[in-house]
Structure 1
Amino acid sequence: MIELVMYMALGAALGTVGGLFGIGGGLIAIPALGVLFGLDQQLAQGTALVMVVPNVLLALWRYHQRNRIEMRHAMPLALAAFAFAWLGSVWAVGLDARAMRQGFVLFLIALATYNLARMFMRKVEPSSEMRQPWPWLGVLGAGSGVLGGLFGVGGAVLATPVLTSVFGTTQVVAQGLSLALAAPSTAVTLVTYGVHQHVNWAMGIPLAVGGLLSISWGVKLAHALPEKVLRSLFCGFLVLCAVMLAFKA
């Protein structure tokens, strides 16, 4: 019973973070499960996905309620991410767990470096229209899908900064579109990990319940914060995740 409460409390904390940054909570759940509970990389990723999938769906709905997500932009991202996430997840389940963890740390470091560098670049004002033509949304969906399937993070963590810097969207719009990308890709990735026995359902289900109870608070907070503050917090969050996992790698 104590373990159940602990998992739900952890899920609630991760759900708030997931709603805040539009990433479903998986990016911090994976290092948390590896460091705190000793799960290997694939098992940590698969178990985190049990929480991430419903969290992403709920967060997507909440974002759409507050800031309508354009389907003409969301669909190319979602369809490409779905197909390529399946390929990435099939690749991931056959890799060495230690190599996977090291690769994940490098991925987080690269992502944190890119986001920190962006804070010192010349600011480009967000646009109401996409700066790049629609085929490039499919390219972004494919790349994010592969990384999402490989590392179990849904691809949203890559798509969000690219949408703001390359496609010119606001942070909130980028996070909403990233959730639309992540919804199908996380679902197909969870199925793949589950088929290959890389999911601890007894741990993942209470994590999911806790996340569902709290993710709306994170979404509400995301819409209340200034954009610069939200981006700064996102960078700090990435660095924290990289440091946590580096101790376990």
Structure 2
Amino acid sequence: MTTTTLILLLFIGLLAGVLSGLIGIGGGIIMIPLLLLLGLSQHQAQGTSLAVLAVPVTALAAFNYYKEGYVDWKYAALIAVFFVIGGYIGSKFALQIDEKVLKKIFGFVLLLVAGKLIFEK
């Protein structure tokens, strides 16, 4: 790993962390596109992003929200259980999809989210 790559990876982690804590985004919207720019394949970028999230990387950010009364633990627990199940099922499907098709699906989802955020009243 070169020094440039190391610096870029540190930047990606910091940016994803700051944006995750600030506006609740990080993995799919920040890390994956930047990992693609570093030359990883779509599958590698998705797998790497998921590996980052495999440990409680957002625990301190969530704790700050909790201290201010902004965490619904019942909702979070239910979503987390089904997130694990959905993540397993989704990864099985993703690994069977051609990388070019997967990239297009990823881009389309980003456009849908962006359109919703930009044009909602």
**TM-score scaled to structure 1, two decimals?**
0.43
Residue 12 of structure 2 contacts residue 34 of structure 2 at CA under 8 Å; is this kept in 1?
no
Offset, 1:82: 2.0
Does 2:83 align with 1:81?
yes
Q: Any idea what SS the aligned residue of 1:55 has?
A: coil
Q: Closer, same or farther in 2 for the Cα pair 1:98/1:117, shift >3 Å?
A: same
Residue 33 of structure 1 contacts residue 39 of structure 1 at CA under 8 Å; is this kept in 2?
yes
1:51 counterpart letter in structure 2 = V
Offset, 1:68: 4.4
Residue of structure 2 equivalent to 1:17: 19
Offset, 1:25: 4.0
Residue 21 of structure 2 contacts residue 61 of structure 2 at CA under 8 Å; is this kept in 1?
yes
Mind listing any 5+ residue stretches in structure 1 that lack a counterpart? 121-249
Does 2:86 align with 1:72?
no
Offset, 1:24: 3.7
2:12 counterpart letter in structure 1 = L
Whole-angstrom CA distance in 1 between matches of 2:78 and 2:20:
23
Residue 34 of structure 1 contacts residue 40 of structure 1 at CA under 8 Å; is this kept in 2?
yes
User: Which one scores higher on RCO, CA 8 angstroms, separation ≥ 6?
Assistant: 1
Residue of structure 2 equivalent to 1:97: 99
**TM-score scaled to structure 2, two decimals?**
0.81
Residue of structure 2 equivalent to 1:44: 45
Residue of structure 1 equivalent to 2:36: 34
2:104 counterpart letter in structure 1 = Q
Residue of structure 2 equivalent to 1:136: none
Whole-angstrom CA distance in 2 between matches of 1:25 and 1:89:
15
Residue of structure 2 equivalent to 1:117: 119
Query: Which runs of at least 4 in structure 1 moved beyond 6 Å after TM superposition?
Result: none
Report 1:135-146 matches (<5 A).
none
Does 2:73 align with 1:62?
no
Residue 26 of structure 1 contacts residue 51 of structure 1 at CA under 8 Å; is this kept in 2?
no
| Identity value in percent | 30
Offset, 1:105: 0.5
Q: Any idea what SS the aligned residue of 1:38 has?
A: coil
Whole-angstrom CA distance in 1 between matches of 2:40 and 2:113:
23
Whole-angstrom CA distance in 1 between matches of 2:31 and 2:17:
9
Offset, 1:111: 1.2
Whole-angstrom CA distance in 2 between matches of 1:6 and 1:73:
35
Does 2:103 align with 1:108?
no
